[in-house]
Amino acid sequence: MGRSRLGASIAFALLLSGREALGCSRVTYDSGENDGNRIVVGRSMDWLTPTNSSIFAFPAGLARNGSAGTNSFHWTSKYGSVVTTAYDISTADGMNSQGLTVNLLYLADGDYGKRNLSIPGMSIAIWPQYFLDNFATVAEAAQAVYGEDGEPSFQVRTAALIPGVPTLMHVAVSDASGDNLILEWLNGTLVTHHGTQFNVMTNEPDYDSQLAINQYWAPIANISLPGTDRPADRFARLAHYVDVGPGSRDLVSALATTAGMIRAVSVPMEPINIDTPNITPTLWRTYADTKDLTYYYESATDGMFFWVDFSELDLSNKGQTMQLPLVGVNWTDRVGDMTQQFQKATPFAFMPTSD
């Protein structure tokens, strides 16, 4: 697309330089018995500047390198996936052929600790892709992240492309049963939350603190909810919406319900206020239908709204990497079913770590 990898990498790091500069929200919605308990995962991307995203379709059988230098984690993808990138150097969001979804969100309190070269390393940019490549269920993923000794199977590493500018994120994984796994690195330690009840995530503070804050709001949520765009307030509202949300009768109503919740915690397009750097506009949203395996993308800055039907893609190990560009195209060309509009491509190189 004519963008230098160095420039994209620097932009990616700069956007994460403020400890409260960015935000996102995500939710796992269960449509209920009338729709066969369809699970739809929705998320928003709130960002300071355009993420120059593409949609990539990766087949199974790709050899992966953790992009972490010495003793990088290696694997070969077991499942194909469709992902939304950030700057074509990181997987920001996606779903695999088994209905496993991953959302990468900003976390100001993330701390990955010092590099331990005795443990395989993995760049934070490829961390979400690892789950999409390897697991069909959250239970499988939750078991794999720890070894038999109870220690993490790998160490996630960030990148400081500009001195003092870390890349800080946490990850949410969901599957077609509605199970969820939240993963955070805090003070150099991997902290996880596993269960269907962990169906909402935003940003700072850490997840345990978010749950504690929500305990205050939950009993009075039908009377009063916090209304700002701060992550803790978005968490409380989204937790209430998914708790009281109605069941759905089909895909259309399930998608509409999920979209309604995510739009309700999105931030409108408005000038950035230097006095409130933690509030940035929502740029795009995605909705992953894990039952019919359809991935939806909605732009918040123009009229793009399209979907990708997994059944019409070859995500087997005989398939090819495909790309749907979103930059430099008219939004009217990205409306409706875009499955047949993908172009053959080379897998992008994930942002390497600095240690």
- The answer on pLDDT for 13 being more than 90 is no
pLDDT at 76: 99
Q: Confidence class of residue 254 from pLDDT cuts 50, 70 and 90? A: very high
Task: Answer yes or no: 24 catalytic.
Answer: yes
Question: Mean of the pLDDT values across residues 279-297?
Answer: 95
Q: What is the pLDDT of residue 48?
A: 80
Cα end-to-end distance, the chain, whole Å: 28
Q: Which residues pair with 42 in a beta bridge?
A: 27, 287
Residue 192 reports pLDDT greater than 50: yes
- At residue 17 the predicted structure's pLDDT band, cuts being 50, 70 and 90, is very low
Buried b (16+ CB within 10 A) or exposed e, 185-198: bbeeebebbbeeeb
- 163/26: higher pLDDT: 26
Q: What's the predicted TM-score (pTM) here?
A: 0.93
* Whole-number pLDDT of residue 167: 80
Q: Phi/psi of residue 201, each to 5°? A: -150, 140
Q: Is the pLDDT of residue 248 over 90?
A: yes
Rounded-to-integer distance, Cα 237 and Cα 235, Å: 6
> Residue 328 class from Cβ within 10 Å (0-12 exposed, 13-18 middle, 19+ buried)?
exposed
Q: Are 354 and 161 in contact (CB under 8 A)?
A: yes
| Mean pLDDT in residue range 332-342 | 99
Domain ranges of the chain: 24-344
Selected catalytic residue, list 8, 15, 24, 124? 24
pLDDT of 79 > 50? The answer is: yes
Evaluate if residue 280 carries a pLDDT over 90.
no
Tens of pLDDT, residue by residue over 108-154, are 899 999 999 999 999 999 999 999 999 999 999 999 999 999 999 99
- Mean local confidence (pLDDT), 46-61: 94
**Quick check: 1 pLDDT over 50?**
no
Percent of the chain with pLDDT over 70: 89
**What's the confidence (pLDDT) of residue 164?**
58
Residue-level pLDDT at 196: 98
pLDDT of residue 5: 55
| Mean pLDDT, the chain, whole residue set | 92
- The CATH superfamily of 24-344 is Penicillin V Acylase; Chain A (3.60.60.10)
The answer to whether residue 245 scores a pLDDT higher than 90 is: yes
Q: Which of residues 273 and 116 earns the better pLDDT score?
A: 116
Amino acid 23: pLDDT:
76
Peptide bond into 120 cis (omega under 30): no
pLDDT of residue 165: 58
Range in 82-86, 91-95, 167-171, 250-254 with the lowest mean pLDDT: 167-171
Burial of 271 (0-12, 13-18, 19+ CB in 10 A): exposed
Kindly tell me if the per-residue pLDDT of 21 is higher than 60: no
DSSP tag of 202: -
Cα 296-297-298 angle, rounded to 5 deg? 125
pLDDT tens-digit readout, 216-239? 999 999 999 999 999 999 999 999
